[in-house]
Structure formats: structure tokens, C-alpha cells
Structure 1
Amino acid sequence: MSAKKAVQDTISSVLDTIPMVDTSKTTTTTPTTVKISPDSPADEVNYDAVDSMNYDIKNKKVFLYGNAIVTQKTLKLTAERMIIDFGNNIVIAEGHTDSLGNRKGNPVFEDGDQNFSCKKMKYNFKTKKGIVYDAVTQEGDLFIHGAQSKIFQGVQLAPQDSATHEVIYNRDAIFTTCNHPDPHFGIRAKKLKMIPNKIAIVGPSMIELGGVPTPLVLPFGFFPLKQGARTGLIFPRDYEYSPTWGFGFKNVGWYFPINDHWDTKVLTDIYFKGTWGISAQTRYKYRYRNSGNFNLSFSDRVRELSDASRARERSLSIQWSHQQDASAHPNRSFSSSVNIQTNGFQSRNYNDASSVLQNTLHSNVNYSQRFPGSPFNLTASMSHSQNTRTHEVTFNLPTVGLRMNRIYPFKKKNRVGNEKWYEKVTFKYDMDAQNRLTTTDTTMFTKETLESAQYGMRHKISSDVNFKLFKYINISPNVQYSDIWYGNRIEKIF
């Protein structure tokens, strides 16, 4: 079926009498225009069905059965059953329930990049408005369920905005990352306004678990829906129940794409008995230079004691991993692998076997530098070892090494004649420095720990020469000097 604004009628006007035709004269006809109703849609509407189509000429309706489809420009609507009302430019689409109680052929609405499914839909071709019941819309990893939705197409968001957009208003909506038809969790809002691929705006809403509302309330919210890296809410993949902490869910937070090289997400864990945690996870990557990630986490666990009182257990975790590309710098390298925890953070917050059974933690940060054109090279490192059972922690912060390769200080650059014995004299120098801290994981950041540091420095100088005496006797004298400096002093009084 097609509806067009105007067509040319090449049939001549019908007269009230039939005249005699004079074959000696040429008959001319004047074309007339058939006017289309101003209430008809501006664009052509096409429809089809696999099973059958019934026409109600009197009421200007068409009934479509079996995989019905209706298209209009970029719009496409499919459903098991449809009713097209040409008098009002309305299509009503819905699925049906089979003998086993399963829904079949629910309406699917597609328009450009936007699509959603629902149980029933009513759409006006002319005004581009519609009402949708039990719609499910997907925006990236986010699913939006609306009990009743209104669709408005061709909306200008601002007077100076020449582009038009689709706007959807939802009543009694829930948005979630759970892909189940009946979501196990999500944020329930009485009212929601959504501009596909742009933003979702909600009023007062609350977090819902298993269909049960929780006391966690949001006064309002803005959730970007743009494609690609974008700032937005991170939904939990699941919720959990702990006999100690109660109902709760992990990893609810916000994602921040800082630029093309850096991004950050802030995640929280929330439980109804007062336990909570927060973490900031940052990633960075520069092509042909370096990449890494940094995680800082804090946990505040609340548990009830036998006398009904409560005890708080706070713990902290610092993790940093950094890798330098092999082609980043010819004379300098830097890498890190840091894993520092306090008060048994890993075993308190994770219940997998590796987290519970692992009782040693190690960290290393390494830097090396070569100085082209000189015999010197420098190394510096920081290391950490920790026993989560005894709570003992040892830091080597830092360890520095300076090496001078063997040199020949008396060798002439432009030697004339045979090499002299003193030109074979070599000289070498090494220096090592270290600062060591030994403490527990609950007192590592206190003033007393810093004051108990043990530090020192060792110098080593060596020189040797090798020459022949009387052509047959090899002489190899060498001299070594070693010196150790300590930063602590011991006083004994008798």
C-alpha cells in the first residue's frame, strides 16, 4: 500500500451525454489532480504479513497476521499481529501467548541505530509519536525496562539545534546491566527521560534487589549513553548475601575517561549492615613508551560480636604495575610491581582459594640508567616483602647502586712506541646504599616506624696492573679499599 500526495489523472472528464465523435478533429484533454487528505502521512507506508491480511474498507483498517511488518523510510516495525488504522494513521502491534503460555512475536521497533522490543505498541505515522507497553531498550551494556513509555520523534532539543532527536519518556522504569527478562537488580525510577545515544535522566529512584526495594535512594541521576569511551555509571554484575555483612553488591561506581591515554573508575561495595569499601582504579597507556595501572582500595568491615556489640576492621591495599616498552629509551628502563596490604585486606575481602591461602606478598620497583660516553651506570630499586600471617613487613626503601666500569687512567690516547707498564693500570669503583624498615602491616605508616629505619652505604675501590718482568715473570699487583658507613650509632657505658 502506498499513499502519495498527488497523482496525474489522464482520463478525461466524464460528460452527462455521449457526443458523436468527429474523427476530423483532434480531441484534447485537460489533466486533473487527485488531492490526498492533509491528514495522511507525509512518507510512504508499506506493509506485509506471512499468514494473512484482512481489509475493513468501511473503517479503513487492515488486519495483519503472522510475522507482520510495517516500514516507513528508516522505520521498521515487526510483530506477530498488527492493526493499521489509515483513518487515524495509527498502527497497533502486539505479540500473542501460545498454548504453552509462552509469548511469541512481541513487537520490535527499529529506527536507524535505535531499537527496542515490547509487549504492545501504538504508533502514529504522521505525528511520529507512540505509546509502548513493557518496553526493553538496550544502550551498550545497559538495559532499560519501562512499564509504559511514550516516544517522540523529530524533537529539537534547543532552538539553535538544527538536528532532531528521538525522546522517550518512561514510567515505572528500571535500568540495569542484568540481561534477564526479569532483572535481578537495578535502579528503579518512577520517571525516566531518555535521549538514545545521548543521556538518560531520572528523578528520585532507589536500588532494587530481586524485586525488593532497598533503603539506598538516589535523589536524581544523569547517565550518559554515548557510544565509545564515556563517563557513566558502572552497574554491579550481581548482588550477594553474607551472613556477617548482610545483603549487598560489589563494584558499583563511576567511569571517567580522562583522555586517550588515561582512564579511571571509582567502585564501591555496599552492604546493609554497615560494611562498605571503595577503590580507585586507574589505567594508562602510551604506545611505544609505557603502560600500567594503579589501584588504591580501602575497606571498612563491620562484624557483630557474641555480646551484640560491633567491631570494625579497616584495611588498605595499594597495587601498581608499570611496564616500559623495549623501544622507549636506549639507556633508561623503569618497571614496577607493587602489592602492599594492611590488616589482611586480601583475605578479608575476597573468598577465593588463592586470596585466602596466599600468605606472602612481594613488591619491586626498578630503575636503571646508563650514561653514554662515561663508564658510570646507576641502578635504584625499592622492594617489599610481607607475611600476612605474622603481619611482619620489610621494606628496602631504597637500594641504590653506582657502578664504574674498569678504566685505564694512564693509557695514552695517541701512543707512540711500545705500551708502558703503567698504562695497564686499571681503576674500578662501586657504591651501594640501602635503607631498611622492619615493621608490621598495622604500624607501617607511623612516625615510630620511620624513626627505626636502618640505613648505610658501602664504597669499594680497586686497582690492579699486569705486566711482565724480564720477559718471563708475570707481575699482577692489586689494591682494594672498602668502606662502610652506618647511619646508626651505638653507645655503651660501663
Structure 2
Amino acid sequence: MIGARFGVVQALVAAGLLAAAGPLSAQDPVPAGAQLPDTVEVDSTALRIQQRLQLLGRAPGSDSARAEAYADSLRTLSAPANGFRGRPTQPGVGSEAPTDIYARLRGLEGYTATEYAGTTAAYDADDGQLVLQGDSLVQAAVTFAQGELRARSIRYIEATGDLDAEGTPIFVPLDGDEINAQGLTWNTTADRGSARQAETQYTQGGNWYITSDFPELTSSRAFGHDAWFTTCDHEVPHYHFRAGQLKIVRGSILVARPVKLYFGDVPVAWLPFIATGLNSGRQSGILTPRFSVNDIVRTSGGYQRRVSNLGFYWAMSDYSDASIALDWFDNNYTALAGTARYNWARKFMRGSLSYRQYWRATGGVERTLNTSHQWQMSERTNLNVQGAYASSSSFVTQNSFDPVEVTRSIDSQGGLQHRFDWGNLSLSGNRRQFLSDDRVEQTFPSVNLSLSTITLFPAPQNRAGILNNITLSGGGTFRRSSTTRADFDTQPDRANTDGSLRAGLTLGRVSVSSGLQYRENALTGFSLGDGGPLLKTDSIDARGDLPGEIATRGAQVFDDPDMRAMLLEGYVDRADIADARLSWNASLNYQQNLIGSTTFTPSISWDSEFLRADTLSYAQDFVAGPTRVSFGASLRSDLYGFFPGFGKWEGIRHKVSPAFTYSYSPKVEPTALQEAVFGSSVVFPRNTLSMTLNQTFEGRVRSRTPEEAEAGDSTGLSLAGGAGPQRTEDGFLIPEQAETELLLGLQTSALAYDFVADSTGRFVDGFTTASLSNTIRSDYIRGLTVSMRHDLFDESAGTGGGPVSKNFSPYLESMNFSYAFSNTSTIFRWLGFGNSAASSGPDERSAEEFEAELRAPASQESIVPDDPGDVGDTGARGRQADVGAWDLTLGYSLIRSRPTATREGNASQNLSVSMRLTPTEDWQMAWRTSYDLENGGFNDHIISLTRDLHRWEANFDFLQTASGNWTFRFEVRLLDQQDLKFDYSQNSIDGIDRSRSVGAR
């Protein structure tokens, strides 16, 4: 046996350690005496290396001493000219530096280099074994085509191509993560090996730390037993899986069976198998099933089981995917859900489609759908579609566990917008399906055309004449809406058609405008029922519930005697009735600017209308009404009041913006037909005055003194975070512009008074405004919104059936209040309860944002599928927040009607609360509920507790809907693999119709 000792820097390199891949290989040696090609340089290093390869390729003779007849390849390659066999003391001493030799060896075409390094190397020529030894500081190493192997001791067996490593070997494959083991064997010929007590890490799709015995290892696959794996990177992991058998396909999948989940050292779950992806992108595969039971310990007869998400996910391309899944709910339904999504950014297209079909356990089929599409066809054209549909509203309310879903409508809308050079055109539609009464309101089509403003004879203002800068504008609209009800016997279906054209011309302060409007109302299948024939009245129903002059059922009948006879004699029990109105108007206005922002605008206008009604025999065709001339004027102004400031405000400004509009129309002389069709009200003159009032309170933030502005902050920037103080060209300091904040804003609707109606002698009879609305808002107290509507007058019939009396008696009809605030809100920072270090920017979220977050735990419990979102959209439910952070949203709504002598008043009051709290670093809590103040009970609840378990997230959810359904669910989910979760749920579905049980306690 020939032994040799080398330094760490100088590796043992021999010609026999080059794995041949070309024609000059050890398996096909060049015979002795063969001539080399003439193209090879005689004295080159490559020539000498090839000569040694030829010699080593010969079969050894019986006496190994014959090898001495050949020059020592290593000595020939590395020894300097002076005969010194060690490493040269300086680079370049001798024939060639070793680094140059290694570089030339690696650069040989047709060969793959294998490098050996160690503190000691021993080669047995008889057995063909090479043993490399390392020490406590430097490991022995072998670098070959499949990777690098490092260990305290490495044995290479030339006959089999095996590398046996002992002493904490480390194998680093060419493509993959390193493997640490207690013992490792690798066959360089078959490119496979085995390892004992090996530890490795797979980083594709997540960081998996794996400990296992691997009887078989390849560059692409690994088979193990008694495996232990986790994604927790702590030295003592918070959790881990244990499996009897393990298979890993690099870049594809990890499969283990059977599997136990441990939190710490405590087993918490058992699974027959786990299959999780290891690829970094999306990949087709089987979905993770969900199993749930109504009770783990059965305590009631309502024991139910549920298996859902049994299906397949298909990654069709980088821009689209689809999935299909089965959902089985014991004694309730079986459902099949399909989802498809696409996101084609190059074509500016994105969208999704979700469809579910339910087979009831009692028989029958229900369908629900949700779709969303956005397409920017060009710079001028956009298409947006969002749709939702449910075949049965009662099925949704009976089976949904989403408290938000059962109290909202199912909405769909879509639109196409295109911008031309001469204007904008939009085509849109919407549909609302109400779960409370199966009412469907639909508007389609809705067309809006707006022409671009045209300027005639343009000229600069300082040189413009009387005919310069004339502007023309115009446009039109068309809309058709309908209302259908499932209960057709009590209320008919209704359809409305509206259209309008408008045009305007402006010349300086003079403006001329005109318009044409058309409206048609129709009732389908109107029934007399038990209320008797229809009542003909002289006034149009202000609510628009019935067409034309048909308002209520009563003692009078249709004006058409044939229709009346058929209804009374029972020949027909339903009638399709409609009416249509066509009106036009034109006006001339002149605006005169007065002091400041005050403007005075006198005007004159003309208007008339045409009416057609099926209920009037003399109005089967359009009847023209009288033309009315109106004279009017409007006055608008802004009034200011200034008050001393306080706190951070230097001053308070109160702005009042009143607007007065006056209109007078003289009496007209209608014909007998016009008075019969339009009523006697068209004869009376009109003399009205209306007023609107808006108020704001603004605070001006205290400005800094010139010294403070000059000093700025320590960084040379202003306190506002912008550039330093501004100066003029002469060096004078420019004062900073004052910052203002809207402290309070109050907007009031118009109040109108008719002096003609005041002719009765009672001042209150002149008010034509039935209700008054007020809206309160504040930019400083962000999240605050208050709106109120008051019914101003009490109209009741006089005693003994006398005339109706009108008394001023404000009555609150509706009120809506919402306020969102948090620990960073300004008011709490003032009181010292908030975070004083929080930024002064917007710190409150809208109620819609809060509700969207709280719907996350309930989304999978809904019946109508949610929008699947973008391709590849994933994420945990929890969010990062500071310890002690909280936010709260309060909402209050009131709707009630005034009681009368013949009708009792009714009211609906609801209080809603949404709260989120982070009590500790690992816990988060969210709560949403609504309370019915009239019934004295809660309508719905969403309570969610989230626990951060490092790589896991645990959720405890309780949900109760307004229809009475409730569910409790516990879910623990692996954040690295969102689909890997464990669920338990308990619910109350028992087939009972709870659609009326609002306010269940």
C-alpha cells in the first residue's frame, strides 16, 4: 500500500481520479505506442495529462513494482525542476503552480473532475480503496458530479463507486439543501445513497426541517421511516409531525403516513396521511378535505356530520386556475362547487366565476352563483361586471351561518364605459335580490350619454367679445327598472321606463337650457282582491307605488265603464294597467355677481306635460296639458363668523351658506279635458319660496413663530415634514400657509313654502316640504356620521269626516349614526387613554372595512359563494397589531312611522357594535353584533378569537345569524401551508324555517 500525506490547501489530484466522459477514458485506453493527434502541443500540460491517463488505463501486471517503470504522475505534474517534492514556497516556483494545474484539469473537455481533500489520504492499490481522514478543524471532502460530501472520515471503493462517510457527514447535493447525518453512503455510479439519523431542510414552498432515516436517497427523491418534520425554526420547535413512512419528491410533494401532530411533546391530532406541496408556485393537486361533526360527545338528536372540500385544484396556467369540490351535509344537502379564475395582465383582464349546486335532502335543487370580471379593453373602454344569484332566498336564510349574508341583499351590477372624442357613453345595469321577501329589483338597461362641451369662437378673456366663448352642452339618459315579487297574489309586479334629453347654451353670464322627459309606469296582474274596485284620486301618489292617479283600493271604480263592468262581474280578476307622462321644459337664466361670493340669478321658464292612462277612457292617447310660465330668482351667499380659538387652534371660523330660490307662476286657463285629466291643481297659481342651509365650523391650526420657522427641526426640515422655511428672492421669510380642519359640518335639505296654499289663512298650510333631512360630519373626529330625517307635519282627518288638518309637529322618522374610533383616536389621546406616540394621520377605519375583515371567518359558511379574488391570493386571517391596540365601531339605526287615528305607528331600532382587540402579543379578538332595541334581543353575533402559535394559527369562532342558525368552529391552520388545517364545528341546522325569528335570544 502506498501512502501519502498532503496539506489542506493542496488537494490530492491524480489523473486516475478524473471520471472519463470522452474518447480518452479509462474504459477505452489508447494502446501503447499510439500516436497522438498532431494538433496537440508536444510540451503542453494537456499532453502530459493525457499520457498519464493512457498509462493508468492499462491493466496492472502481477508485480505492482512495474508501475515504477512509469513516471510518478503526481510527481511529474507537480514537482519543481529542482526535485523538491513538497509545495513550492512561492507561487510560480518550479515548472507550474498547482492552481494552474487544477484549472487545466477542470477545463479538459469530455471529463468530469472528482476532487479529494483531507489531512491524510491512504490508497490501497490491491483493493482499489482510498481513505481520506480529517481532523477536528478540517473535514475530509470529496467533490464529484452529484455534489460534495464532507465528513471526519471518507472511504472510496473504486470497484463499486461507493463513498462511505462517518463522523457527522454532510452531503450537499448539486441542486438542493444539505443533509446532515450520523452515517451516509453514496454510490457515485447509480447516483443514490442512504443515510442514518439524517437531518435536512426543504425550502421549496416553505421551510420544512426533516429528521429521518433515509434507506434510499436520490437527487430527486427520498424515502424515509420514523420521520420527524416541522416548519418551526426554533432550536426546540413549538410543534412537529411524526410519521412512520415518508416520501419526498423534490420540488413537488411531501407525503407521510400515518401522522401525529405534536404541540411541544403533547400529541393533539392523528391523520392517516399528509400530502403537502413543496413547489414554490401553484400546482394541480387534490384539495385538503374538511371534516366536522355536530357534537364530539353526542348530547342531542340533531347529530350531524359534514365532509367538505373533497375535490381537485387545477393550475391551468400561470394566469388561470380552477377547482371543483364536493360538500356533504348530513340530513341537509349535498353540494358541488366549482370555481375558475383568471388574471391576464397583458390584456388587462381579470375575473372569477363561482357556482354551487345544492341537492336538498328533502328533494329539490338550488343554485347560487358569484362572478366578477374587469376588462380594460383600451384606454377609452372599460368593462366591469359583478354578479350574484340565488335561486331561493329562503334556502339561503335557512342554511347560511354567515350573519352578514342573511341580512343583506344579493346584488349584481355591471357596466360598459367608452369615451369618444365628442362625449362619454355608458351602459349599465343592476339587480338586487332581497332575502326578506323574495323581492327582486332590477334596472336594465341604464344608458347615459354626455356630450363634450363645445366652445364656439374661443378667445382669451381679456380680448373676448360678446360672441366669443359660447359653450354648448347636452346629453341624454334611458332607464328601465322593474320589481317582481314571489308573492304575486298580494302585490303585482311593477315596471318603470324613464328617458330624458337635455341641452344647454352659455354666453357669458347668460345660460339657456331645455329638457325633455318621459316616464311610463306599469302594473302587471293587478288584482282587486277583497278590497273592492280601484280608487281614482285627483293627486298622484308621491311615493310612486302605483301608476298615474290610481292610488288605493276604495269605493270608486275605473273611469272606463267596460273595465269596471268586467272587474265587478268577475270576468277578470287581474288587470295590466299603465300610464305614461311626457314633459318638456325650457329656461333662461342670468347670473349677477354681487359682494364676495354672493350671486343673484333671475330666470324665466316654460313647462308642460302630456299624459296617457289606461284607467281613463278619455286619456287612452296622450293628452296635452296647459303650458305654464314661471318667473324666478335665486340668491346664494356665504356668511362668516370668527371666534377665539382654544387648544391647538388659533381661531374658529363659522361659515353659513344659505340659498334662496323663488318661483312664481300665474294662473292658467285649462280646457275641460285638461282639467279632467290633470286635476284642478293645474289651474291654481304657484308662488313658492325654498331655502337650503349648510354650515361648517373650521379650526385654524396655530402657526409657528418666525423664530420657530427659522429654526425648523434638528434635521433642517420643517415640523410638517416638508422642506425648510421658504424665502423670497430678497431673503425675506415667507409665512407658512395656515392649516385648517373641518371640526363640524351640518347640511340641511331644502324647505319650501307655497304662498298660494297659505290662502286658507293658516300659515302652516303653506309648507309644501313634508320632511327635512340633516347630515352631520366631521373630518377631525374621523369616522363620525349622523343623518336624520324628520316628518314636519301631522296631517289628520277632522272630526266627523271633516277636512284634513295640518299641524306643525316634527316627528323623527329615521336616524343613522356611526362612529369608528380606536386607541389612536385624537379624543382618547387627549384623555390620556390612547397612544400618544401614534401618528396624527387618519387612524379610524370605515365600518365597511371592519365588516369585511369580520366576514373572513364566516365566508366559508355562506351559501352564496364569495368572490374568489385574485389568482394566488392567500393569507392568514390574523393581522399584526401592537399589544393593547383596539378599535371600536358603533352604529345605530332608527326607522319609524307616525301613528294616526286609523293606524298604529311602528318602529325598528337596531344597535350594532364591532370591536377588535389585541390583549397580548399572541391573542387577538374580534366581535360584531347587532341588538334589536324593540324586541329586546340580539339579532346576530360574530365572535372570533385568534391565537398565534408561531407557525400555526388557532381560531375559535362563534356565529349566530338573524334567522336563528348558529355554529361554533375551532380551526388550527399551518401558516406555511394554508390548506393544512384541522377543524371541529358544531351547528344548529335542523330544517326548521327560522326566517321570521329575528331577534332570537
**TM-score, normalization by structure 2:** 0.30
2:371 to 320, 333, 338: 320
Amino acid at match of 2:71: T
Aligned: 1:170 with 2:223: yes
Task: Tell me the distance in 1 between the aligned counterparts of 2:415 and 2:202.
Answer: 47
Q: How does 1:23-172 map to 2 (within 5 A)?
A: 31-32=70-71, 43-47=113-117, 61-64=131-134, 66=136, 68=139, 70-73=141-144, 75-78=147-150, 82-87=152-157, 89-93=162-166, 95=168, 108-124=170-186, 126-127=188-189, 128-135=191-198, 136=200, 138=202, 140-141=204-205, 143=208, 147-152=213-218, 166-172=219-225
Amino acid at match of 2:155: D
Question: In the alignment, what sits opposite 2:684?
Answer: none
Question: In the alignment, what sits opposite 2:382?
Answer: 333
Structure having the higher strand fraction is 1
Task: Tell me the distance in 2 between the aligned counterparts of 1:297 and 1:109.
Answer: 51
Question: In the alignment, what sits opposite 1:400?
Answer: 445
Aligned: 1:382 with 2:430: yes
Shift of 1:131: 0.6
2:351 to 267, 287, 292: 292
Question: In the alignment, what sits opposite 1:360?
Answer: 408
Task: Tell me the distance in 1 between the aligned counterparts of 2:121 and 2:451.
Answer: 101
Amino acid at match of 1:72: T
Change (3 A) 1:462 1:242: closer
Task: Tell me the distance in 1 between the aligned counterparts of 2:176 and 2:202.
Answer: 9
**Range that drifts further, 239-248 or 355-364:** 239-248
Question: In the alignment, what sits opposite 1:5?
Answer: 15
Kept in 2: contact 1:406–1:427 (CA 8 A): yes
Task: Tell me the distance in 2 between the aligned counterparts of 1:121 and 1:271.
Answer: 51
Shift of 1:112: 2.2
Change (3 A) 1:461 1:397: closer
Change (3 A) 1:4 1:357: same
Question: In the alignment, what sits opposite 1:422?
Answer: none
Kept in 2: contact 1:280–1:295 (CA 8 A): yes
Aligned: 1:486 with 2:522: yes
Task: Tell me the distance in 1 between the aligned counterparts of 2:427 and 2:149.
Answer: 68
Q: How does 1:364-443 map to 2 (within 5 A)?
A: 364-370=412-418, 372=420, 377-384=425-432, 386=434, 392=437, 394-403=439-448, 430-438=477-485
Kept in 1: contact 2:286–2:312 (CA 8 A): yes
Shift of 1:488: 0.9
2:314 to 238, 252, 256: 256
- Partner SS state of residue 14, structure 2: coil
Aligned: 1:456 with 2:498: no
CA offsets, 1:346-401, max 9 Å, x none? 99667xxxx679943553422134585888945222233656xx5x5554344322
- Partner SS state of residue 12, structure 2: coil
Question: In the alignment, what sits opposite 1:100?
Answer: none
Task: Tell me the distance in 1 between the aligned counterparts of 2:503 and 2:431.
Answer: 35
Kept in 2: contact 1:248–1:272 (CA 8 A): yes
Change (3 A) 1:262 1:177: farther
CA offsets, 1:103-141, max 9 Å, x none? xxxx54322222243543422354343112355452622
Shift of 1:176: 8.5
Shift of 1:82: 3.3
Shift of 1:437: 4.2
Task: Tell me the distance in 2 between the aligned counterparts of 1:192 and 1:385.
Answer: 51
Task: Tell me the distance in 2 between the aligned counterparts of 1:259 and 1:394.
Answer: 41
Shift of 1:262: 1.6
Change (3 A) 1:43 1:403: closer
Shift of 1:242: 7.8
Task: Tell me the distance in 2 between the aligned counterparts of 1:249 and 1:108.
Answer: 45
Kept in 1: contact 2:148–2:174 (CA 8 A): no
Change (3 A) 1:397 1:242: same
CA offsets, 1:379-426, max 9 Å, x none? 222233656xx5x5554344322346689xxxxxxxxxxx9xxxxxx9
Amino acid at match of 2:116: N
Task: Tell me the distance in 2 between the aligned counterparts of 1:294 and 1:362.
Answer: 16
Shift of 1:72: 0.7
Shift of 1:484: 1.2
Kept in 2: contact 1:384–1:393 (CA 8 A): no
- Partner SS state of residue 32, structure 1: coil
- Partner SS state of residue 114, structure 1: coil
Kept in 1: contact 2:117–2:132 (CA 8 A): no
Task: Tell me the distance in 1 between the aligned counterparts of 2:334 and 2:223.
Answer: 32
Kept in 2: contact 1:248–1:271 (CA 8 A): yes
Tell me, which stretches of 5 or more residues in structure 2 are unaligned? 1-10, 17-48, 53-67, 75-110, 262-266, 297-302, 453-466, 468-472, 529-566, 569-1001
Task: Tell me the distance in 1 between the aligned counterparts of 2:413 and 2:211.
Answer: 49
Asked which structure has the greater CA Rg, the reply is 2
CA offsets, 1:150-207, max 9 Å, x none? 134xxxxxxxxxxxxx353514487988557797569x6857474x34x5697xx867
- Partner SS state of residue 283, structure 1: strand
Kept in 1: contact 2:450–2:476 (CA 8 A): yes
Kept in 2: contact 1:2–1:44 (CA 8 A): no
Kept in 2: contact 1:4–1:44 (CA 8 A): no
Change (3 A) 1:254 1:92: farther
Kept in 1: contact 2:492–2:523 (CA 8 A): no
Question: In the alignment, what sits opposite 2:855?
Answer: none
- Partner SS state of residue 524, structure 2: coil
Q: How many residues align?
A: 379
Question: In the alignment, what sits opposite 1:101?
Answer: none
Task: Tell me the distance in 2 between the aligned counterparts of 1:131 and 1:122.
Answer: 6
Tell me, which stretches of 5 or more residues in structure 1 are unaligned? 10-28, 36-40, 96-106, 153-165, 302-309, 408-418, 420-425, 440-447, 467-473
Kept in 1: contact 2:306–2:329 (CA 8 A): yes
Kept in 2: contact 1:431–1:457 (CA 8 A): no
Task: Tell me the distance in 2 between the aligned counterparts of 1:273 and 1:116.
Answer: 52
